[in-house]
Amino acid sequence: MTHIIQAESLRGLCRGIFQAAGTAEDIASAVAESLVLTNLFGHDSHGVLRVKQYVSMINDGMIKPSARPGVKRHFGATAMVTGGYGFGQIGARFAAELAIELGRQHGISAVSLGQNTHIGRLGEYTQMIAAAGLIGICFSSGTMFRGWVTPYGGRERVFGTNPMSFAVPCEDAGTLLLDFATAGVAHGKVVLARAKGTPVPSGMMLDKQGRPTTDAAILDEGAVLLPMGAHKGSGLAMMMEIIPTLLAGHRPITSAAFHFGNPSLMMALDPRAFDEDTDFRRHVGDLTQRVKEAQPAEGFDEVLLPGEPEARSYQDRAKNGIPLPDAVWGDLRGMALDLGLGFGGEN
């Protein structure tokens, strides 16, 4: 069973939970907005499902709920941002805004983000950059050696799900956005499947003996996720593990001092700095139109652009509400009651 919750009610509930857990009001509002926006776009694995995880991390001292990011190092078109182990969304938005500023100034920028926690949906930040008229690129990792993904041919956890995102300004769509994990399935989507009591697609997981499985319930029992695209995805995952992690100043720690997070690298490129042709948006629009005009193959009704399913989800959920599985709604209600808050918005 699912519960349908209107976005504004869900924002208020999440904001109240974070504030009651010790988060400054503006930070609580920004994180709640980010999570609910992710649900609106249909990526429930990175939405309010994470509230329980974040509150647990606050209680365990892994998230400093009112920490604010700052610039640790600045050199020309590059910068290193430290999040102070606050909410990852706050550090990531700060880094994206700095990448935009430096990208406009220099034509290209690269901003690393360290000492941060889970940053949520990468597309939120590359879309910010593209909405400013720049090309946005983001790589993110799982802090080395403590992930969920096995290398190709293995059965032990080594890599994070290590996502990447690209966004470009587009004449018709505003922005054209691509965002995906280098694992065959994101860890959060397996957590969501477990909450729903549904299996994960075949070919995505191995159990602790290295045998294929679709049982999301055994995620914490030694199961591993497989990289997308066999050896190619495994290679991508390894590069994503190296580049953002080390440039963000994180060094591999296998001891008890390990701190979970998503070291990230954000880049912004100004098309005008590379070519005197200023019709970048129009050319992107021409390509998207050509893709949409392609004849669909058997079994398909149409050819979809990257980000098109998310845009349709947003239109539907903004109007009709956000569906939450019993387990997720129960967690939110339980936390609200424990913290002395009311809850509402259920249809």
Distances (CA, A) of 96 to 90, 111, 170, 172, 261: 10, 8, 19, 23, 17
* Res 200 pLDDT > 50: yes
pLDDT of residue 347: 42
At residue 25 the predicted structure's pLDDT band, cuts being 50, 70 and 90, is very high
Q: Which residues pair with 265 in a beta bridge?
A: 112, 139
At residue 291 the predicted structure's pLDDT band, cuts being 50, 70 and 90, is very high
- In terms of residues, how long is the chain? 347
* Res 253 pLDDT > 70: no
Number of neighbours of residue 339 by Cβ within 10 angstroms: 14
* Res 310 pLDDT > 90: yes
Structure tokens belonging to residue 169:
């300004």
pLDDT of residue 195: 84
Radius of gyration, CA atoms only, the chain? 20
pTM, two decimals, is 0.91
H helices within 208-325, ranges in order? Answer: 230-247, 280-293, 308-320
Structure tokens belonging to residue 70:
């700052």
Phi, psi at 143, each rounded to 5°:
75, 20
d(CA 314, CA 310) in angstroms, rounded, equals 6
pLDDT of residue 252: 64
- Mean pLDDT, residues 10-37 taken together: 97
First to last CA, the chain: 12
Reported in sequence order, the residue ranges of the chain that DSSP labels E, i.e. its strands, are: 2-5, 70-75, 78-82, 108-114, 135-140, 164-170, 174-180, 205-206, 212-213, 224-225, 264-269, 322-325
More confident residue, 169 or 259: 169
* Res 243 pLDDT > 60: yes
CB 186 within 8 A of CB 193: no
